Amino acid sequence: MELLSTTFLAILFILVRTQQGFTKTKSRSSPDSILRQKNYPLLWRIVREGGHRGLAECQQQFKNEIWNCSLGDKNVHKQLPIFVKTTLPFATRETAFLHAISAAAITHELILQCRQNRIPGCKCGKTRKQPTGNSGWQWGGCSDDIKFGEKETRRFIDKLEKGNDARTAFNLHNNEVGRKVVRASLTKECKCHGVTGSCNLKTCWKQLAPFNVVGSELKQKYRAAVRVSFLNNKLHKRDNNRDRLVTRKHKKLVYLDSSPDYCVRNATVGSPGMLGRTCRSDVVPTKECKSLCNSCQLRHKTVEHYKQVKCRCKFVWCCTVKCDLCTVKYSLTTCTK
């Protein structure tokens, strides 16, 4: 009898424990996962928007370069390179840059939309301990949630990379470099409180730099990219005639294939070539446009054009702005044979 009741009690105990275990894990993960499920379509939309912003920033950064971030195919604008490996078949320095800037833009966009309260349940990021002593300021306000942006970018983008091949390792490494640059762009912003002019109390929060700052930082990394090889399922770089492992701590962009000659048309690599490339003086100085053609052994032709822009704008009470139309001159340089 006693044995039976002990066994019964033991089973009951196990049942209760298991039950507790279930409810515990459930209640811990549930609000978060429900939120993620609910937000899934919204987050995907933001991820795509971020991808397009990355591409736009790439074109901005490379507008006066031979490779101008053109991807050859018009389709690519729908099928952003970060989503499909086949759109950029070679693992060049340029592909590396596109991966990094896309991952960076997606991270940046997610954080921005979180700050603007567009993502339900997304809150302010954590800041470290309050500064000690009489430092004259304290953490306050809403810091950008870098962790959220990084986590979601990994979930949506890095998860697309399956397998254990060179290209997967290359993509993942460069995505991570993109996110690191966004993280490094966080700076402390402060606001003064107290009677006008006095700054008795200062509160500070962490805020991301505008995306073009991230873009130019990544462009520097593009220039400093290092060539690597894939050995024993890992990326390695050549250093003083020795192979060294490229770890996640490595902050440089890496590439596997050398770049093709972007001066010439080559459909395989999506290069339209420089013949017929146009360049506007209101975007890039004419001198630079010309030397761009010259660097590909092409001649150039410059034609003047006119455009109408709004000017002499006046504020009319209340509440419109009236402008005149002015004609301004600009020149269009085309690379020719």
The residues that touch ligand NAG, with contacts defined as CB under 6 A, are 59, 68, 70, 260, 264, 266, 268-269, 272, 274, 277
- From CA 8, how far away is CA 2, in angstroms rounded? 10
Of 167, 125, 180, 336, which is closest to residue 255 (Cα–Cα)? 167
Are 143 and 127 in contact by the 8 Å Cβ rule? The answer is yes
Choose between 266 and 286: whose C-beta lies nearer to ligand NAG.
Answer: 266
* CB 258, min distance to ligand NAG, A: 8
* CB 272, min distance to ligand NAG, A: 4
Pairing between β-strand 254-255 and β-strand 226-231 as defined by DSSP bridges: parallel
* CB 71, min distance to ligand NAG, A: 9
Choose between 218 and 269: whose C-beta lies nearer to ligand NAG.
Answer: 269
* CB 104, min distance to ligand NAG, A: 19
Q: Which two tokens stand for residue 149?
A: 């942006």
Pairing between β-strand 201-207 and β-strand 138-139 as defined by DSSP bridges: parallel
Are 98 and 218 in contact by the 8 Å Cβ rule? The answer is no
Choose between 34 and 264: whose C-beta lies nearer to ligand NAG.
Answer: 264
Choose between 46 and 335: whose C-beta lies nearer to ligand NAG.
Answer: 335
Are 139 and 181 in contact by the 8 Å Cβ rule? The answer is no
Choose between 59 and 336: whose C-beta lies nearer to ligand NAG.
Answer: 59
* CB 274, min distance to ligand NAG, A: 6
Ranked by CB distance to ligand NAG, the top (closest) residue is: 260
> If residue 40 lies in a helix (H) or strand (E), which one and from where to where?
helix 2-61
Choose between 11 and 264: whose C-beta lies nearer to ligand NAG.
Answer: 264
* CB 277, min distance to ligand NAG, A: 4
Are 9 and 16 in contact by the 8 Å Cβ rule? The answer is no
Backbone dihedral region for residue 297 (phi beyond 0: left; psi -120 to 50: alpha; all else: beta): left
Choose between 110 and 335: whose C-beta lies nearer to ligand NAG.
Answer: 335
Sheet containing 138-139: order of strands: 138-139, 201-207, 187-193
Are 252 and 226 in contact by the 8 Å Cβ rule? The answer is yes
- From CA 164, how far away is CA 31, in angstroms rounded? 34
Choose between 98 and 274: whose C-beta lies nearer to ligand NAG.
Answer: 274
- From CA 177, how far away is CA 221, in angstroms rounded? 9
* CB 63, min distance to ligand NAG, A: 6
* CB 269, min distance to ligand NAG, A: 5
- Residue type at position 50: G
Residue 201: strand pairing partners = 193
